[in-house]
Structure 1
């Protein structure tokens, strides 16, 4: 797969599932996307794109999101 080719559907589906788990954890804690971004060192738009599965994100960002949500990283990426 070249860098310009879209990822396979299974990758996109997993990306969306991770985003859903992040959104569920965030809403359960009653944290806005903006506040999660502040806590994780990202902007609201980035959090929105991650939750929708529109972007691939670095593991560092996922670790900061997990820490901000006080959930194990494994719970988000299972």
Structure 2
């Protein structure tokens, strides 16, 4: 959905983490059959999580643990 800002400028609606909810689906999948790998450029990760090691966003210990599990963690 695009929002008109004026003078020919538009913006897209973005969602914050508190606006997203995951709900169970109608089907059940055996976890051993699921592949959660994803790739950005030449970076491949095991789990689809991107975190930032900033105090107000993700605790440093949590960022380290997410990285160990295969998430992409930014230190800036």
TM-score range, shorter chain: under 0.3
With CA pairs under 8 Å and 6+ residues apart, which has the higher RCO, 1 or 2?
1
**Structure 1-normalised TM-score?**
0.26
**Structure 2-normalised TM-score?**
0.27
Look at both structures and tell me which one has the larger radius of gyration over its CA atoms: 2
More helix by share: 1
More strand by share: 2
